[in-house]
C-alpha cells in the first residue's frame, strides 16, 4: 500500500533507479549495428516490461518509450509526499497537451497520437476546454493566457506566438505556486535557471532574426533571476558585451559562460546542452538529501533523460547518423 | 506503604522504558517505511532490509532493562515493595534519565540512518554491511547511556 512519506519514497526510488538505463547500457545499445539489433538489446535489459525482441516491431519503440514515461509519472504521483511541488515538474506534460489540442482544433483534425499522460490537469477536461474555448476550469493564470490566445486567434494564427504564451503561462504559474509555498528549495533554483537560460536563448534567436523589443517581450519567461529589462536592453548590445550585461544573480555566471561559449562556437545548441547539464546538477545535488523531494524528481527527470537518449539513438539508427547522447541522470 | 521516594523510583523506571521505547518505535517506523518502499519494488531484499529495520529497536530493550533493574531493586517485581527515602527516589529517577533521553533521540536518529542504509541496500545490495555499520555508529551513544544508567542504579544503596 503506497504511503506518502519520504522514507517510503526513498526506499522505492532507490530500487526504481537501478532499473533505469545508465550511460554504459545506452552506449552499448547505441553501438548496435542495426535498429532491430538495438531494439532487441533494449528489450533484453527489461525496458518495456515483458516485451521480447522477436515479436516487437521497430516502429513500436516510440509507443514503448511513451508507455514507460507514463508509468514513471504514475509512480511519481503515487509516491510523492509533496504533490504541490512535484506537480510543477509535470506541468510541461499539460503544456504539451494544450498545444496539441489547440493545433489539432486549428487544423480541423482529431488530436494526433502524440498526447502525453500523467500531467497535472485531467486530459478530458483539457480537451473539452480547448474544444469549447471555455477555460473556466483551469487555474486563473492559464485561463487568462488561453483567453488571450483565443482573442489573438480571431485576428491571425501564429503558432509561435501561442506556443510562447502557453510556455509563459506555465512559468508564471510555477512562480506563483513557489511564492505561495514560500519555496526556497532546489525547485526554485531549477526553474529559475531554466527560465534564465530560455530567456538568453530567446534573446540570441531574436537578435539573429532581427526582432524588435515588442516581439521578444512575450517570449521572455518569468521565474528567472535576471530581470527582463536586461534582456530587452541587450537586444542592441554588441555580442561581445552580452555576457557582461547578463552576468547577474546566482545564474549569471553560468549564463555569461554560455554566451561566451556561443560567441566562440556560434552554435545555438550550446545553450540547451549547458542548460541540461546545469539543471541535472541541481537535481543530482538535491538527491543527496534522502528525506527530500530530490530523489523523486531525480528519478522523474532521469526517466525523461533516458527516454530522450533512446529517441536520439533510434532516430540516429534510422537515419544512419552518429549518436550523440544527451545529459543523463546516472 | 508507598512513599514519595518509591513513587519517584517508579518514575525513573517509567522514563527509562517509556522514552527509550518511544525513540525505538519512531526509529523502527521510519526504517520500516523505507523497507516497505524497497520491498514493493524488490521483495527479494527482505532479509537485508529486515536487519536494518530491527537495529533501532535496541534502545527500547536497553530502556526496558534499566526499568526492570530499578523495579527489581525496589522490590516491585517480587511483591515486596521497599520504602525508599525521597533522596533515594530522586536518585532512582535520575538514573532512568540517561537511557530514557539518549534512547529516545538515538532511537529515532538511528532509524533515519537505517532508512538511508535500506535505500543503499535497494540500490547496491552488496553494500548492506556498510549500511549496518553506519546505523551501528549511532548505537554507541545508547550503549554509553545504558552503562551510565546501570552504574547509577547499582550505586544507590537501599
Question: B107, B95, B102, B109: which is closest to B145 by C-alpha?
Answer: B102
Question: B24, B26, B32: which is closest to B53 by C-alpha?
Answer: B32
What pLDDT does residue B154 have?
95
pLDDT: which is higher, B73 or A268? B73
Question: A239, A312, A305, A287: which is closest to A20 by C-alpha?
Answer: A305
What pLDDT does residue A50 have?
65
Give phi and psi for B30, each to the nearest 5: -60, -50
From chain B, the residues in CB contact with A18 under 8 A are 122-123
C-alpha cell read off for B93: 529517577
Place A55 in a pLDDT band, splitting at 50, 70 and 90: low
C-alpha cell read off for A127: 480537451
pLDDT in tens, A165-195: 999 999 999 999 999 999 999 999 999 999 9
A15 with B41: Cβ contact below 8 A: yes
CA–CA gap between residue A151 and residue A289 (Å, rounded): 46
**Domain of residue B65, CATH code:** 1.20.120.610
Asked if the model's pLDDT at residue A100 lies above 70, the reply is yes
What does the buried/exposed string (b/e) look like for A239-254 if buried means 16 or more CB atoms within 10 Å of the residue's CB? eeebbebbbbbebbeb
Interchain contact B37–A (C-beta under 8 A): yes
Q: A252-256, A326-330, B140-144: which has the minimum mean pLDDT? A: A326-330
DSSP codes of every residue in chain B: ---HHHHHHHHHHHHHHHHHHHHHHHHHHHHHHHHHHHHHH-GGGHHHHHHHHHGGGHHHHHHHHHHHHHHHHTTTTTT------HHHHHHHHHHHHHHHHHHHHHHHHHHHHHHHHHHHHHH-GGGHHHHHHHHHHHHHHHHHHHHHHHHHHHH---
Q: What is the CA radius of gyration of chain A?
A: 21
- How many beta-carbon pairs under 8 angstroms link A with B? 64
What pLDDT does residue A51 have?
66
Asked if the model's pLDDT at residue A57 lies above 80, the reply is no
B37 with A291: Cβ contact below 8 A: no
- Cα within 13 Å of Cα(B134), Cβ side: 19
Q: What is the DSSP letter of A110?
A: P
What ipTM does the predicted assembly reach? 0.87
Which of A5, A6, A9, A14 to mutate to probe the B interface, most B CBs <10 Å? A14
Region class of A32: left (phi > 0), else alpha (psi between -120 and 50), else beta: beta
How confident is the model over B94-109, as a mean pLDDT?
Answer: 98
Which of A7, A18, A80 to mutate to probe the B interface, most B CBs <10 Å? A7
What pLDDT does residue A49 have?
75
What pLDDT does residue B20 have?
98
How confident is the model over A101-113, as a mean pLDDT?
Answer: 87
Q: What is the DSSP letter of A20?
A: S
What pLDDT does residue A211 have?
87
What does the buried/exposed string (b/e) look like for B1-20 if buried means 16 or more CB atoms within 10 Å of the residue's CB? eebebbebbbbbbbbbbbbb
CA–CA gap between residue A66 and residue A54 (Å, rounded): 20
From chain B, the residues in CB contact with A7 under 8 A are 30-31, 33-34, 37, 115
CA–CA gap between residue A196 and residue A206 (Å, rounded): 15
Q: How far apart are the first and last CA of chain A?
A: 28
Interchain contact B122–A (C-beta under 8 A): yes
Place A54 in a pLDDT band, splitting at 50, 70 and 90: low
Write the residue in A2, A12, A291 that is nearest to B38 by C-beta.
A12
Domain that holds residue B10: 4-155
A11 with B120: Cβ contact below 8 A: no
CA–CA gap between residue B138 and residue B57 (Å, rounded): 12
What does the buried/exposed string (b/e) look like for B49-84 if buried means 16 or more CB atoms within 10 Å of the residue's CB? bebbbebbbbbbebbbbbbebbbebbebeeeebeeb
What pLDDT does residue B95 have?
97
C-alpha cell read off for A44: 533484453
What pLDDT does residue A46 have?
86
Write the residue in B36, B38, B39 that is nearest to A3 by C-beta.
B36
Question: B137, B108, B124, B109: which is closest to B48 by C-alpha?
Answer: B124
From chain A, the residues in CB contact with B30 under 8 A are 7
What average pLDDT is seen over chain A?
89
CA–CA gap between residue A49 and residue A230 (Å, rounded): 49
Q: What is the DSSP letter of A218?
A: G
Q: Are the C-beta atoms of B93 and B11 separated by less than 8 Å? A: yes
For chain A, which domains are there? 1-82+292-330 (1.10.132), 83-183 (1.20.1690.10), 184-259 (no CATH)
What pLDDT does residue A1 have?
45
From chain B, the residues in CB contact with A288 under 8 A are none
Identify the contact set of chain A against chain B, taking CB-CB distances under 8 A.
Answer: 2-3, 5, 7-18, 79, 290-291
CA–CA gap between residue B140 and residue A14 (Å, rounded): 28
CA–CA gap between residue A69 and residue A75 (Å, rounded): 10
How confident is the model over A216-244, as a mean pLDDT?
Answer: 89
What pLDDT does residue A137 have?
94
Write the residue in A3, A7, A16 that is nearest to B115 by C-beta.
A7
Chain A residue with CA closest to B27: the answer is A7
Q: How many domains does chain B have?
A: 1
- % pLDDT > 90, chain B: 95
Amino acid at each position: 500500500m503506497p504511503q506518502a512519506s519520504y522514507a517510503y519514497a526513498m526506499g522505492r526510488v532507490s530500487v526504481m533507479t537501478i532499473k533505469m538505463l545508465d550511460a554504459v547500457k545506452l552506449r552499448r545499445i547505441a553501438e548496435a549495428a542495426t535498429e532491430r539489433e538495438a531494439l532487441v538489446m533494449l528489450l533484453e535489459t527489461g525496458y518495456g516490461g515483458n516485451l521480447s525482441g522477436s515479436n516487437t516491431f521497430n516502429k513500436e519503440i516510440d509507443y514503448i518509450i511513451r508507455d514507460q514515461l507514463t508509468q514513471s509519472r504514475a509512480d511519481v504521483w503515487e509516491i510523492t509526499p509533496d504533490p504541490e511541488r512535484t506537480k510543477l515538474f509535470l506541468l510541461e506534460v499539460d503544456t504539451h497537451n494544450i498545444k496539441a489540442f489547440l493545433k489539432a482544433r486549428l487544423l480541423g483534425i482529431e488530436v494526433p497520437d502524440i498526447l502525453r499522460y500523467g500531467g497535472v490537469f485531467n486530459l478530458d477536461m483539457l480537451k473539452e476546454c480547448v474544444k469549447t474555448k471555455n477555460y473556466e476550469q483551469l487555474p486563473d493564470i492559464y485561463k487568462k493566457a488561453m483567453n488571450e490566445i483565443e482573442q489573438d486567434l480571431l485576428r491571425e494564427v501564429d503558432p509561435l506566438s501561442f506556443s510562447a504564451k502557453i510556455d509563459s503561462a506555465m512559468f508564471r504559474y510555477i512562480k506563483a505556486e513557489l511564492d505561495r509555498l514560500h519555496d526556497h528549495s532546489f525547485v526554485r533554483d531549477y526553474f529559475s535557471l531554466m527560465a534564465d537560460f530560455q530567456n538568453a536563448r530567446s534573446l540570441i534567436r531574436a537578435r539573429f532574426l532581427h526582432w524588435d523589443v515588442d516581439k521578444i517581450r512575450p517570449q521572455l519567461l518569468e521565474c528567472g533571476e535576471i530581470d527582463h529589462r536586461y534582456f530587452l536592453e541587450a537586444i542592441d548590445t554588441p555580442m561581445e558585451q552580452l555576457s557582461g550585461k547578463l552576468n547577474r544573480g546566482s545564474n549569471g555566471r553560468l549564463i555569461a559562460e554560455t554566451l561566451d561559449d556561443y560567441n566562440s562556437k556560434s552554435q545555438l545548441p550550446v545553450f540547451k546542452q549547458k542548460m541540461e547539464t546545469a539543471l541535472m546538477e541541481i537535481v543530482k545535488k538535491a538527491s543527496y538529501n534522502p528525506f527530500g523531494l530530490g530523489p523523486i524528481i531525480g528519478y522523474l527527470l532521469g526517466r525523461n533523460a533516458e527516454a530522450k537518449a533512446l529517441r536520439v539513438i533510434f532516430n540516429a539508427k534510422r537515419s544512419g547518423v552518429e549518436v550523440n547522447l544527451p545529459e543523463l541522470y546516472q | 506503604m508507598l512513599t514519595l521516594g518509591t513513587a519517584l523510583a517508579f518514575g525513573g523506571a517509567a522514563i527509562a522504558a517509556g522514552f527509550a521505547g518511544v525513540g525505538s518505535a519512531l526509529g523502527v517506523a521510519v526504517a520500516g517505511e523505507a523497507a516497505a518502499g524497497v520491498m514493493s519494488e524488490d521483495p527479494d531484499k527482505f532479509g537485508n532490509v529486515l536487519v536494518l529495520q530491527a537495529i533501532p529497536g535496541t534502545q527500547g530493550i536497553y530502556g526496558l532493562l534499566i526499568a526492570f533493574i530499578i523495579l527489581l531493586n525496589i522490590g516491585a517485581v517480587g511483591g515486596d515493595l521497599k520504602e525508599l527515602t525521597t533522596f533515594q527516589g530522586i536518585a532512582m529517577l535520575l538514573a532512568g534519565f540517561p537511557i530514557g533521553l539518549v534512547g529516545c533521540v538515538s532511537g529515532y536518529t538511528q532509524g533515519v540512518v537505517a532508512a538511508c542504509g535500506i535505500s543503499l541496500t535497494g540500490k547496491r545490495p552488496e553494500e548492506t554491511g556498510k549500511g549496518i555499520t553506519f546505523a551501528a555508529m549511532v548505537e554507541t551513544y545508547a550503549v554509553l547511556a545504558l552503562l551510565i544508567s546501570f552504574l547509577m542504579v547499582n550505586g544507590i544503596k537501599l
